[in-house]
Amino acid sequence: MTAAAAIQKAKAALALTSNYAVAYAVKAADVDVVAVYPITPQTTIVEKIAEFVDDGELNADLIHVESEHSAMSAVVGAAAAGARVFTATSSQGLELMHEVLHIASGLRLPVVMAVPARAISAPISIHGDYSDVMNTRDTGWITYIASSAQEVYDTVIQAYKVAETALLPVMVSYDGFLMSHTTEPVELNDEEAVRRFLPRRERPNVLRPEKPITMGAFAMPDWYYEIKYQVQEALASSLKTIEEVDAEYGKAFGRSYGIIQTTGWRTQTTP
């Protein structure tokens, strides 16, 4: 690497917490609607996004809601109207929005959410474990767990492509505090290139006055079963989409991660 190239690379990298990395990724993804409600350790994500919106760097509607249940409901509504959406939460907040998580996946809305994982009360704790994320396992969401601020940044951008391709909501999770509040160098992508990577696409389940549809209608068990089976099939086939998007991202931006990252497993022996 030449000195000039090294300086250029250093300029493109910022010292960011994983929470700020999420905010920068959301800005690059040109998100339309963000529902915000504070909870530790998530709060600094939406604080940073609010700053971007206030500075005019991100042209998004920032909705201040009264609970996490409302936050997820607001982004479900906005996604149903065709918007690219974002919200974030942790721990008790994720529990409070739990019923709406099923609605997002059942309606096949490409909601993207960041979850710095945090332990669940009681006893009350603000520190990182994955008991909140584990409770969402059967909600029909795709869940990423990222292991560095750089991976968080890259994964949030990939998450939009995966969500909009598979028509499923995607959660990007990482360690609360251990990552959400510690600083690492993060290389940021050119935002124009990210927008080329995430083109706006038509999807079938969007509310439009000129072509009315009903969303969230009642279904008797015979229909309910089929519609839930669709979600199950979409989840199973999203594995391929996740790999393809990761490979495409690697081609465009030089970083990719695969489905599972391992460390030292080849040297382990079974006792």
Partner 1 sequence: MSLPKVHEIPIGGIITEPGSSRRNLTGGWRSLKPIIHDDRCIRCRICWMYCPEGTIKETKGEFVVKGRKYQYKYEIDYNYCKGCGICAHECPTKAIEMVPEA
Residues of this chain that bind partner 1 (CB under 8 A): 106-109, 167, 204-205, 212-217, 219, 222-223, 226-227, 229-230, 233
How many Cα atoms within 13 Å fall on the side-chain side of residue 183? 4
Cα angle value 80/35/139 (rounded, 5°): 60
Q: Tell me how far, at minimum, the Cβ of 182 lies from partner 1, in Å.
A: 39
Nearer to partner 1, 79 or 133 (CB): 79
Nearer to partner 1, 111 or 157 (CB): 111
- Rounded to whole angstroms, the Cα distance separating 201 from 33 reads 16
Residue 65 and residue 42 in contact, taking contact as beta carbons nearer than 8 Å: no
Residue with tokens 């439009």: 208
Nearer to partner 1, 190 or 226 (CB): 226
Handedness of CA 228, 229, 230, 231 (dihedral sign): positive
Q: Tell me how far, at minimum, the Cβ of 115 lies from partner 1, in Å.
A: 23
Cα angle value 70/16/157 (rounded, 5°): 55
Nearer to partner 1, 56 or 204 (CB): 204
Q: Tell me how far, at minimum, the Cβ of 72 lies from partner 1, in Å.
A: 16
Residue 112: which H helix or E strand, with range?
Answer: strand 112-117
Q: Tell me how far, at minimum, the Cβ of 220 lies from partner 1, in Å.
A: 8
* Count of C-beta atoms within a 10 Å radius of residue 56: 7
- Rounded to whole angstroms, the Cα distance separating 201 from 183 reads 35
Nearer to partner 1, 102 or 255 (CB): 102
Q: Tell me how far, at minimum, the Cβ of 203 lies from partner 1, in Å.
A: 8
